[in-house]
Structure 1
């Protein structure tokens, strides 16, 4: 693709009033440079998606959209979560953009990697992943758990790009295919590789958060990981049978041990058999019920077919309509 194309940069925001001025400034710089290099058109846009923020995030986005021709915004009616906000932005931007970049508002992902993504797109890639070249900014706990998660997902057979979050570029065609997936329980890091098409990677160093606090505490990270596991593999359900057999073998071993101890007169009558039965059966049942419950809950959410997001206001579409007139 040699002619300048229209680029959309989607930025999900939740209570990001502290970082938005700097994020807008940095992304505007990137777009301006790309326009000057005749790689993208001057009607390319930064689409900030307000995911039901409780601070001044939306008024700031609204004000920036009036002052900066590159800036526009989408306001969701309530908080739909990071993945829902991403999808809302991609839905809006992909209608008129030839390619869409998604990036978080905290500036931890290096905006200077976007021109490299654009170059990969021009060279023929339809999906370009931003991949971290190190995890120096993470704590040892987060680094180890992230590595374990990627290995576990690979063992489950889920195709996911290690050390790649939601910083990526997708062509218009790839976006349309992505939007055809109708999951309510969204895990885009697992869905995007399923889209196919030619892909490539751009490596970058992840930075410290520019301002504000992380919107992904441990509780949300664990839920996110569980969504990823249960949305793409039924291996955990299959593992239940293996776990059941394993517990049964342990129970048999304990039973043999108990009989030996009883023959030697070292066991209180009735205590061992009762405790073994309670712990063995109770443990197996609780684990099985909880794992199956996760999948039943997913089915419950999916079959209702509720909207994955609701847009209250779409400044991006409003600007696009004005430009076309």
Structure 2
């Protein structure tokens, strides 16, 4: 297990995958985003998560985006590769490829659609961890997967040496308290996967936020997360206040539709997005544009 990875706290961006209008990956724009996040103080980058449209890139593209992100980061910031799948063999293959690309860790969403029971989840994650010697972060997002990994299963998996953390996106304060109180290993990290509740989760004991909002407001999210992880509730609330509109309007349609529109509006990426996702409805343009202005990232 890499020592630097154990120390990741704060704002971790769930990075979009920039695309041209025809849907082709724009690697030059990807490079610029990585450089921007390093400059703005983002703690780490997740490449090829949900926000990166992993569901609509084929395996070769998926691995190419991870490889390019790692190469551009060049060791200046940790890169975590999304490698989850609903087939254990595929998750192993993607995780092995991420390790070969030089990723610092993998983020593995719970198997989706096939709805495994808790024992199936345990065996799935154990199999990936035993097959690939790479630090691995569990990812629970039942609103997308139809599968909710319970805290007791997290506790079982936390005993596996290279399973080093959990991204929890249930957005439930009771779940946050339960996870914090589990007595997990000291080097096991808990990350929020829900921007609107991330500040409260970190003040309750989580170690950071794997964030969509950080795509458009990286410096502000870095400040807010640092304050919250440090237990400074007043400073965290002050930093979070201008981001309130983004916490709402970046999720008004399924992620990453709004955040890709926002980054295009900011001039940082092209307008491309892949079917079955479509561009943000014009009904929401004015409100999201105003939220970007309030956050100080659009003038």
TM-score (norm 2): 0.30
- TM-score for the superposition, normalised by structure 1: 0.28
Which is higher, the Rg of structure 1 or of structure 2? 1
